[in-house]
Amino acid sequence: MKHIIIAFFFSFLISLSLKAGPTIEVYGVKFNEVFICQSADCSNGKKIGGGDRINIADPYFTTNMGTLIDLKKANLGTDSYSHVKFNVDMKFVVKANNGSCYSFPTKVDPGYSKGTTDQSKYGEQIIQAAKEDVDCSACSNVTEDSFDFTWPLSGSYTPGTGQSIAWNIDVTNAIEFKGCEIGPNEPGLNFAVVQF
């Protein structure tokens, strides 16, 4: 009986490792503009940042609640806010592999870009989302260069009440491999209003 339990345990571990996603070391996303909004349509959005490329695979964002923007400096009045909207660049900087295919500097094509099976070439690569592949309920205004991504806050943010907006990102499945071609996929996101 002991051998059966041990055999089951090892087969369970092997099946888990086979189902594991790719290794993602870098997932650089450029937020052209960031808005905080009072509604899902963000017609009343107030710009609070943008222009930076952020490595959302950094453990700071994946294992901790990272503060996105210091809202103390934003002129938000006393209104409550329920959504955030990002204008996201269609090009992403990645360093990722699935154990047999590796990202490396190469030509940028919309959609999937070629990876390499030569591990010695492993490095950062720019991948570009194709316009037709950006299809999510939170996405709008999709162009060849960028798209808007609007997401609800967990809770409502009111300036001057000691609150902050924090985020947590799961990039586990944010890169997709098809054979040895690499393409972007949607990361898991959570934006929460936290009290300090």
* Model pLDDT, residue 158: 79
Q: Is the pLDDT of residue 160 over 80?
A: no
* pLDDT digit string, tens, across residues 34-61: 888 999 898 888 888 888 888 888 877 6
Percent helix, strand and coil across the chain, each to the nearest 5: 15, 45, 40
* CB crowding 37-55: b at 16 or more within 10 Å, else e: bbeeebeebbebbeeeebb
Higher-pLDDT residue of 20 and 162 is 162
φ and ψ at residue 16, rounded to 5 degrees: -65, -40
Residue boundaries of the structural domains of the chain = 22-195
Under 8 Å CB-to-CB from 67, ≥6 apart: which residues? Answer: 164, 165, 166, 167
Identify whether the C-beta of residue 177 lies closer than 8 Å to the C-beta of residue 186: no
- The pLDDT-based confidence of 18 (bands split at 50, 70, 90) is very low
